[in-house]
Amino acid sequence: MESSRQLFVDMKDDTRRLRPSYVFMMRCLLYSRLETGNETGTDVPDEDVNVYLAHLLQSFSDPDYVEGARPYLHRYDHEVFKRLERSTDARLKYVIYKTNADFLLVSIGVFDNPGQWLAHRLPQVQPSKPRAGEPSEEASMGRGKTYYHFAWSYSQQVNRGHPGITEVLEKLSVGFDRYIRVLSHMRGEYLDLMKALSTGEIYHLERNINKEQERQQLKESQDAFLDSWLAWRRSGSPESLEELRRHAAAIRAVDPEFHFTEDDMTPEIPKLAPDPIRPPRTPARQRKP
């Protein structure tokens, strides 16, 4: 049975019956395409994109989906590239690029927030004056196109048995601007979601996301620290020692209670306890002849 968040009452239906929220998302999406002059199939056959977008919008009503996406989300390009620079896992790269592209698409189109994080909609922040270092809408649009392009590239390796998703990602990369316009119209005419979120809810949402990022960063730093510790114990080289200190500083930046000093570099060798004193053995009596 579907949960209540996945159902809606169709007021245009005389029976007032419950329907899946996917039907509502698809209906709003198709109306928005017509009203913005971006009818389905005008440039390329993109009925499959409609299906993808309707499911994507529906998934944002599921807390489990948002929670599962958090470990793959990054605010800036350099964070994404730094995480993937040493990875050879094509599936991980596909998931990270696709997840970040999806969230950028919804953040810009539905939430009118190029920064990808809802806290930037706080009233004290002027929309015309983004914070220093914050990506502009144009930059975020470029990121969305690029991420979908990379996702399409890796999808060709990991989704060979399901080429349909690969074609959708390519269309989203090429037509990113067009689909943003459709979602923006849908936001104003049919959704109007931002008014439903209070300032306090937005603050706690970003705070939870930041905590998850810090937890992930701490785990990665701890793993790197242990690896460098073992490398230093094996080689004892100045390079491995400097690497160990660098990872210790990275952990301390996230966890101030972490302490690691020069005294910790040479662990004490445990002393063995002496054997208990045994009583002298009594010589055996000699037998009398």
Residue 199 in 3-state DSSP?
helix
At 166 the pLDDT is 94
The answer to whether residues 63 and 184 belong to one domain is yes
The answer to whether residues 65 and 142 belong to one domain is yes
Report how far residue 77's alpha carbon sits from residue 75's, in angstroms, rounded to the nearest whole number.
7
Q: With respect to residue 118, please indicate whether it lies within any of the assigned structural domains.
A: yes
At 281 the pLDDT is 55
Q: With respect to residue 184, please indicate whether it lies within any of the assigned structural domains.
A: yes
The answer to whether residues 147 and 27 belong to one domain is yes
The answer to whether residues 185 and 66 belong to one domain is yes
The answer to whether residues 224 and 100 belong to one domain is no
Residue 87 in 3-state DSSP?
coil
The answer to whether residues 123 and 245 belong to one domain is no
* DSSP secondary structure, 164-196, as one string: HHHHHHHHHHHTHHHHHHHHHHHIIIII--GGG
- How many domains does the structure of the chain reveal? 2
Which structural domain, as residue segments, surrounds residue 19?
Answer: 4-197
Report how far residue 124's alpha carbon sits from residue 147's, in angstroms, rounded to the nearest whole number.
31
The answer to whether residues 176 and 232 belong to one domain is no
At 198 the pLDDT is 62
Q: With respect to residue 202, please indicate whether it lies within any of the assigned structural domains.
A: no
- Separation in Å, CA 102 to CA 26, 72, 78, 180, 221: 17, 11, 18, 11, 28
Q: What is the pLDDT along the chain (289 residues), one digit of tens a residue?
A: 344 445 544 545 555 555 677 788 898 999 999 999 999 988 889 999 999 999 999 888 788 888 888 888 887 888 888 888 878 899 999 999 999 999 999 988 888 776 554 333 333 334 444 444 555 667 778 889 999 999 999 999 998 888 899 999 999 999 999 999 999 999 888 876 555 556 666 666 677 767 777 788 888 888 888 888 888 888 888 888 888 888 888 888 888 888 776 555 554 333 444 545 555 555 555 555 5
The answer to whether residues 105 and 232 belong to one domain is no
Report how far residue 259's alpha carbon sits from residue 153's, in angstroms, rounded to the nearest whole number.
44
Q: With respect to residue 274, please indicate whether it lies within any of the assigned structural domains.
A: no
The answer to whether residues 164 and 45 belong to one domain is yes
DSSP letter at 258 equals -
Q: With respect to residue 147, please indicate whether it lies within any of the assigned structural domains.
A: yes
pTM over 0.75: no
At 202 the pLDDT is 65
The answer to whether residues 110 and 64 belong to one domain is yes
Q: With respect to residue 11, please indicate whether it lies within any of the assigned structural domains.
A: yes
The answer to whether residues 163 and 242 belong to one domain is no
Q: With respect to residue 287, please indicate whether it lies within any of the assigned structural domains.
A: no
What stretches of the chain adopt beta strand conformation (E)?
7-9, 18-20
Report how far residue 106's alpha carbon sits from residue 99's, in angstroms, rounded to the nearest whole number.
11
* DSSP secondary structure, 228-246, as one string: HHHHHHHH--HHHHHHHHH
The answer to whether residues 68 and 174 belong to one domain is yes
User: Strand 18-20 relative to strand 7-9: parallel, antiparallel, unpaired?
Assistant: antiparallel
Asked whether the CA dihedral 233, 234, 240, 243 is positive or negative, the reply is: negative
